[in-house]
Amino acid sequence: MPSRPLDGVWQATAAVSRVFAWAGGAMLLLAALLVSAEVISRKVLTVVYSGSDEIAAYLFAVGTSWSLAHVLVTRGHVRIDALYLHLPPRVRASLDLVALAVLGVVAAAMLDRSFDLVHSNYVEWNRSNTPLRTPLSLPQMPWVLGLALFLLAIAVALLRSAIAFARGDLGGVAQTAGVSTQDEEIEGELASLGIATGRHAAAPAENTRR
């Protein structure tokens, strides 16, 4: 595979986003366990743990924001591609750039508003209107961190795609910002199960023949 612009930066972004995604997934699992434990305790033990739903909500929000960058890097986001797949490669690449730019505007607006929210809650030390009286800025800080990482990933992807487009490397644009093909999705699912695809499995045999 030929070297493409910002390969090192893109790989580093992917590595960081993967770590955050794993941590975010652990938070979502912990949130589900907390909710399940509270439901069981209410039904079986008739015991109510005050605040578990609040903690689960914080974990869910942070875990979700920490997973956004990884979804972007792995092109796991949902896009309507009924018409997209029938367009010429250059038009598809142009639409990929437009989609990234629009997504970046939305992410920047979200980050701006969320940062203002966290800053005001931190300065005024506002607390939740719950029995836990949680300082709102504490769970909101890691939440904003996830949004910041998401915007950073968009910026790197947009810059990398724009340079590839200017060089006429439409395949590079597709691999960074395009819609995953059905074959790529199947290969990804098989790889997650530890199953080698036919293309990768045939590589050793080809090398042996050489």
pLDDT tens digits for range 192-208: 566 765 544 444 434 43
Asked if residue 209 belongs to a domain, the reply is no
CB 95, CB 74: distance < 8 Å: no
Amino acid at 113: R
CB 152, CB 13: distance < 8 Å: yes
Which range of residues forms the domain containing residue 167? 7-179
Asked if residue 105 belongs to a domain, the reply is yes
**pLDDT for 188:** 61
Question: In sequence order, which residues have a C-beta less than 8 Å from that of residue 81 and are 6 or more positions away?
Answer: 179
Cβ atoms within 10 Å, residue 117: 16
Asked if residue 23 belongs to a domain, the reply is yes
**pLDDT for 76:** 84
**pLDDT for 84:** 84
Asked if residue 196 belongs to a domain, the reply is no
What is the dihedral sign for C-alpha 113, 118, 121, 123? negative
pLDDT means per 10 residues, the chain with 210 residues, are 74 95 94 84 68 88 95 85 86 93 96 96 93 92 97 96 93 87 64 60 40
Asked if residue 118 belongs to a domain, the reply is yes
**pLDDT for 53:** 83
**How many structural domains does the chain have?**
1
Whole-number Å distance between alpha carbons of 51 and 32: 14
Asked if residue 197 belongs to a domain, the reply is no
**pLDDT for 5:** 67
User: The pTM is what?
Assistant: 0.82
Question: In sequence order, which residues have a C-beta less than 8 Å from that of residue 170 and are 6 or more positions away?
Answer: 89, 90, 92, 93, 164
CB 160, CB 176: distance < 8 Å: yes
DSSP symbols for 91-119: HHHHHHHHHHHHHHHHHHHHHHHHHHHHH
